[in-house]
Amino acid sequence: MTATTSKAPVAGGAPPRLAALRQFARDFAGRRAAMAGLAILVALIILALAAPLFIHASDLDVVNAPGQPLSPPSARFWLGTDYAGRSIVPLLIWGTRPSLAIALIATALTMIVGSIIGLLAGHYGGISSRVLMAITDWFIALPTLPLAIALAAVLGQGDASITIAIAVTSWPGTARLIRAQTLAVEARPFIERAKALGARDSQLVGRHVLPNVMPFVLVSATLTVSGAIISEVTLEFLGLGNPTEVSWGAMINQAFFQGAVTRGAWWYILPPGIAIVIVALAFTMMGRAVENILNPRMARRP
Amino acid sequence: MSSASAPLSAQSLSALEAPPSGGASGARDFAHYLGTKLAAALISFVMLLVVGFIIFSLMPSNPVEALTRGRPTSAKQLAFLTKELGLNQPIWERFWHYVANTLQGHLGYSFQFEQPVSTLIAQRLWPTILLMGSATIVSVLLGMQLGIHSGWRPGSLLDRISTGSAITLWSVPTFWLGIILLVFGSEGFGPIPPLFPAGGMSTPGTVGGFAPAHILDVARHLVLPCLTLVLVVFAQYQMVMRSSMIDEAGNPYLLTARAKGLRDAEVRRRHVVPNAMLPSVTLIFLQVGTLISGTITVETVFSWPGLGYLTYQALEIPDLQLLEGTFIIFSGSVIVCNLLADLLYRALDPRVRRT
């Protein structure tokens, strides 16, 4: 019994959908990896939102930093100091904010673009749909990083250009998935009934197809976020991020290019990377769980 | 991941369902197949040129200013460049010039290096091929071995460890992994002495060429960047090999092989592995895209003088014509590799030939 199969094809009928949602929540709560991922994320989001309460601008200021540059962990600086002598701990916590925000916004953009193209290509057949899918396949085949670098470089340093570059390179996977699900939903008899009753395209897509493909948008979103975080920190490491901002990618960039390697300053290099891996893993664990719940055939394959 | 393996399995499925056709039409079939694939690759390349043109020629508000950033330029030079680049011409004419230039290998001029982009790319091509090639060989050997053993006994300790580490390595940013290896490999850690050089491709001041000492020196410089790329890529081979081993292990011919008295290891080596290898072999070409993304950051971390490091050097300024050149080369080589993967799959799998 899954969310999709238990869902009765009643348009706009809240109770069956609510029941399906409850069932989904029960399934999700029953999975250790999924709950661990969720717990990590909730903790990090609370930390990110609460950061301004206990981190002051002076903690992040390069000028008048309290410590010696690149000094190892001590009682005063738990994770040592960075190239300017700032304590690593507040930098690490503050870095959660832009890192999560960019990844989530880029994922939202990816979902919007990917879903619209997937729905259009799935709902309207014919030449235009084939052209759309050919473009999608072309983007899938191309290596993502050179394209993202090219876009971000032309748009100029900054969070907005990184976000756009990630969205432009990651929508095709979502578009493909949503198109396939749209085709599957539209092959079901209730769509034929709706058509016979005279539903317009917008009604078909908006009231019947979209609610039924939404779970797959969710799957795609959770799996996209971890990729988006990796792309984001990669672009920031290459120097395409906002140069004045404290983010995990920028921290590794500064560590690498300001001599942390020759100094052997592992306390500067390890923490932001570990934070990235934890967030990416948390989203991957949740995404795989959601995928398994919605598509039990996948569960047998690891 | 799914994009790499999905078309292949779909292909082989349809091949199984297709009725066998006569051998006489084989050559014509092949010509048709080749023609379709070549046409698709050509269309992809045209699309690449269009996207490259949009990004690098239409999106920058003032291409001349973007080009000459990092270098003092006089007003006369700016006017000359505007004319030279044809910025006062209509878009279609500019696109046409752009296509003609790119096809002739004129990829523009790097003001940062004071050299034509195509010359720079030719210089930096071989280090990248050396790095990507050695990483491919090592990760194919490692990934296939792990995949064979974990797929033969799914759920075993080896399977759980190798699958778990593959998924974890998935979530690790390549450049960060490279920096960690660089810190511990070139600076030493605790009792471990520094074993490897900190970057570059050879020790400065040594004689180049094919002298044994030089080859050894380059090999020593190659270890860490190659290892970083391997850690990122091998998991793909492992997962694909693992799942095709599991698929293959359900076949009845294994029963025959065992019935005639072959030992388990021999059944695996002589019957299952050769059949399960197909998807992994074509994956080599489909992986080039992943490798390229990896090589940009790995070469940056290790100052490896290849196309990836060149991309980073172009980014610093930013030197847009150089960036455009590497973008076209990277993406174009992926299109070529996808074509090669299609052709190789057909050559290796007789079932596909009948479609």
Q: B197 — phi, psi (to 5°)?
A: -65, 160
Tokens, residue B99: 């296509």
Tens digits of per-residue pLDDT, B13-49? 444 444 444 455 667 888 888 899 999 999 999 999 9
For A166-202, b where at least 16 C-beta lie within 10 A, e where not — what string? bbbbbbbbbbbbbbebbeebbeeeebeebeeeebeee
Confidence of residue B191 (pLDDT cuts 50, 70, 90): low
**Is B323–A153 a contact, with Cβ atoms under 8 angstroms apart?**
yes
Task: Tell me if A251 is assigned to some domain.
Answer: yes
Chain B residues near residue A281 by CB distance under 8 angstroms = 168, 171
- Rounded Cα–Cα distance for residues A131 and A120 (Å): 11
Question: Is pLDDT above 70 for A286?
Answer: yes
Confidence of residue B61 (pLDDT cuts 50, 70, 90): low
Question: Which of B160, B171, B177, B287 would best serve as a mutation to test chain A binding (most A beta carbons within 10 A)?
Answer: B171
On whether any CB of chain A is under 8 Å from the CB of B266, the answer is: no
Question: From the CA of A188, how many Å to the nearest CA of chain B?
Answer: 23
Instruction: Indicate which CATH number applies to the domain containing A230.
Output: 1.10.3720.10
Strand residues in chain B grouped as ranges (E): 109-110, 115-116
- Rounded Cα–Cα distance for residues A265 and B117 (Å): 37
On whether any CB of chain A is under 8 Å from the CB of B77, the answer is: no
B55: nearest CB among A154, A226, A255: A154
For A155-165, b where at least 16 C-beta lie within 10 A, e where not — what string? bebbbebbbbb
Mean pLDDT, rounded, of chain B: 82
Question: Is pLDDT above 50 for A110?
Answer: yes
Which residues, in sequence order, are bridge partners of residue B110? B115
Task: Tell me if A111 is assigned to some domain.
Answer: yes
Q: Nearest-CA neighbor of B331 among B296, B276, B288?
A: B288
Chain A residues near residue B297 by CB distance under 8 angstroms = 145, 234, 237-238
Q: Nearest-CA neighbor of A273 among A227, A241, A240, A237?
A: A237
Question: Is pLDDT above 60 for B198?
Answer: yes
Task: Tell me if A288 is assigned to some domain.
Answer: yes
- Rounded Cα–Cα distance for residues B225 and B228 (Å): 5
- Rounded Cα–Cα distance for residues B252 and B242 (Å): 19
Task: Tell me if A53 is assigned to some domain.
Answer: no
Mean pLDDT, rounded, of chain A: 85
For residue B251, what pLDDT is reported? 85
On whether any CB of chain A is under 8 Å from the CB of B182, the answer is: yes
- Contact indicator for B75, B64 with CB cutoff of 8 Å: no
B106 class by beta-carbon count within 10 Å (0-12 exposed, 13-18 middle, 19+ buried): middle
Length of chain A: 302
Task: Tell me if A231 is assigned to some domain.
Answer: yes
Q: Nearest-CA neighbor of B42 among B283, B331, B336, B346?
A: B336
Task: Tell me if A108 is assigned to some domain.
Answer: yes
For residue B352, what pLDDT is reported? 66
For residue B11, what pLDDT is reported? 40
Which domain, by its residues, includes A214?
Answer: 95-299
Q: What is the DSSP letter of B110?
A: E
On whether any CB of chain A is under 8 Å from the CB of B42, the answer is: no
On whether any CB of chain A is under 8 Å from the CB of B309, the answer is: no
Chain A residues near residue B179 by CB distance under 8 angstroms = 252, 255-256, 261, 269, 273
Confidence of residue A83 (pLDDT cuts 50, 70, 90): confident
Average pLDDT value for residue range A141-148:
91
- Contact indicator for B5, B240 with CB cutoff of 8 Å: yes
Chain A residues near residue B44 by CB distance under 8 angstroms = 138, 141
Handedness of CA B109, B112, B117, B119 (dihedral sign): positive
CB atoms within 10 A of CB B23: 9
Output B290 or B27, whichever has higher pLDDT: B290
Model-level pTM? 0.85
On whether any CB of chain B is under 8 Å from the CB of A115, the answer is: no
On whether any CB of chain A is under 8 Å from the CB of B1, the answer is: no
On whether any CB of chain B is under 8 Å from the CB of A29, the answer is: no
ipTM: 0.85
How many domains is chain A partitioned into structurally? 1
Average pLDDT value for residue range B57-75:
70
DSSP states along B49-75: HHHHHIIIIISSS-HHHHHTTTS---H
Bond preceding residue B318 cis, omega within 30 of 0: yes
**Considering only A186-190, B197-201, B207-211, which range has the smallest mean pLDDT?**
B207-211
Chain A residues near residue B296 by CB distance under 8 angstroms = 145-146, 149, 238
- Rounded Cα–Cα distance for residues A85 and B269 (Å): 58
On whether any CB of chain A is under 8 Å from the CB of B110, the answer is: no
**Is B44–A141 a contact, with Cβ atoms under 8 angstroms apart?**
yes
On whether any CB of chain A is under 8 Å from the CB of B63, the answer is: no
Question: Is pLDDT above 80 for A86?
Answer: yes
Task: Tell me if A290 is assigned to some domain.
Answer: yes
- HSE value, Cβ hemisphere, 13 Å, CA-based, for A114: 33
B162 class by beta-carbon count within 10 Å (0-12 exposed, 13-18 middle, 19+ buried): buried
Tens digits of per-residue pLDDT, A201-248? 888 888 888 888 888 888 889 888 989 999 999 999 999 998 888 999
Task: Tell me if A239 is assigned to some domain.
Answer: yes
**Is B44–A138 a contact, with Cβ atoms under 8 angstroms apart?**
yes
